Structure formats: structure tokens, C-alpha cells
Amino acid sequence: MELVLAIINAIAFLLIGYDKRMAIANKQRIAENTLLAFVAIGGTLGSGIAMLLFRHKTKKWAYLWKFWAIAILQVLVLYGLFHFGVISFNLLFTYFFRME
């Protein structure tokens, strides 16, 4: 699972960087819905870091509103999963720090 999330975040990072390059060159860009889809499926961290690093989409309020809405929704879902016992800290700890 962590490998899948790492790949999604890497792709989201690269897409933001590529879209910035295309914006500078006045060429066809990646659709905002595509960028936001990668945020929604788990690429929030990669996309957010790329936005800051490349200074891309940081002044587009319509995009930022959607980006932060997705990020907040993800945090609320995680909170709900913890709160209702679907996921526990022990389960996460053993999953991410298991000894092999």
C-alpha cells in the first residue's frame, strides 16, 4: 500500500512540474480535474510539495479551494476511521514498522 501511495505522490509531483513547464511555454496544459484527481486518490503530499517548489497554482483561488477541500476531507475521513475504531494506532504502527 505504501508503494502505491508513493507512486501516486510521485506522479502528482511530476504532473504539477510538467504543467508548470507547459504554462511557461504557453503550450497545452494538464486539465485541473486531472491534477485534482491525483490529489483525491492520495497524491496530496506530492502535489502540495510540487505546488510550493514550482510556485505553481499557488495564486489560483479556485484550484486552491478545491485542493484544500480534498485535503480536509481526507483528514476527516482518517479521523473518522480512527475515531470509530476501523483503524488503530497499533495497527498502523505494526503495518509501517514491521520487522521482516
Q: Report the pLDDT value the prediction gives residue 99, as an integer from 0 to 100.
A: 59
* Closest to 57 (Cα-Cα) out of 35, 28, 72, 26: 35
pLDDT band at 93 (very low <50, low <70, confident <90, very high): confident
Are 36 and 30 in contact, with CB atoms under 8 Å apart? no
Residue 66 or 87, more confident: 66
pLDDT cut 90: percent of the chain above it: 80
